[in-house]
Amino acid sequence: ISALIAVFLLASLVRKTWKISLGLVALLFLSNIVLRGMYPALVQKYFVEPNEFDRERPYIQNNIEATLKAYDLHDIELRTVAPDDAIRWEDIEGNQDTIRNVRLWDHAPLLRSYKQLQEIRTYYDFSSVDIDRYTVDGEYRQ
């Protein structure tokens, strides 16, 4: 489209018709907005999102295969491991360090909650919620 408009702009310069030139420049901007903004958004909204995983499956599979090959992991043997389903009380008592460091908050809903609770205070802006570790009573904790 740009090359075609450039040819017509050169022709309008030779003919000295500025109205056609303005129309062509407007057409260039309009086509840019439609082809770079609206068209991809419409394709994403009405073709990709309704069945996103199936639409993106080949690209995801290609990405996984390329990553495995790049890191020389494509010859790894896959095995299924069946873990014990039940957690026993002894497991909990024997792993107190782990239990004390279990994360209590999930960062995604916590971020949404903070943003919602603080939206009336426009001077706060939470871009992310991070997990940090501190030393409490001589113990390194989350």
Whether residue 138 is predicted with pLDDT greater than 90 in this model: the reply is: no
How large is the average pLDDT for residues 26-51?
Answer: 88
The DSSP H or E segment spanning 2 is helix 2-15
- 70 pLDDT above the threshold of 80: yes
What kind and span of H or E run contains 134?
strand 134-136
Is the CA virtual torsion 107, 112, 117, 123 positive or negative?
A: positive
Under 8 Å between Cβ of 114 and 126: yes
CA-wise closest residue to 12 among 1, 2, 24, 3? 24
User: pLDDT (tens digit, 9 = 90+) per residue, 85-118?
Assistant: 788 888 889 988 888 888 888 888 888 888 888 8
What is the residue-averaged pLDDT of the chain? 85
Residue 135: strand pairing partners: 140
Evaluate if pTM is beyond 0.75: no
Residue 55, token pair as written in the block = 């639409």
Q: What is the pLDDT of residues 118-128, one digit of tens each?
A: 888 888 888 88
Q: Positive or negative, the Cα torsion across 113, 116, 122, 128?
A: positive
* Residue 69: pLDDT band with limits 50, 70, 90: very high
Token pair, residue 86, equals: 């039940």
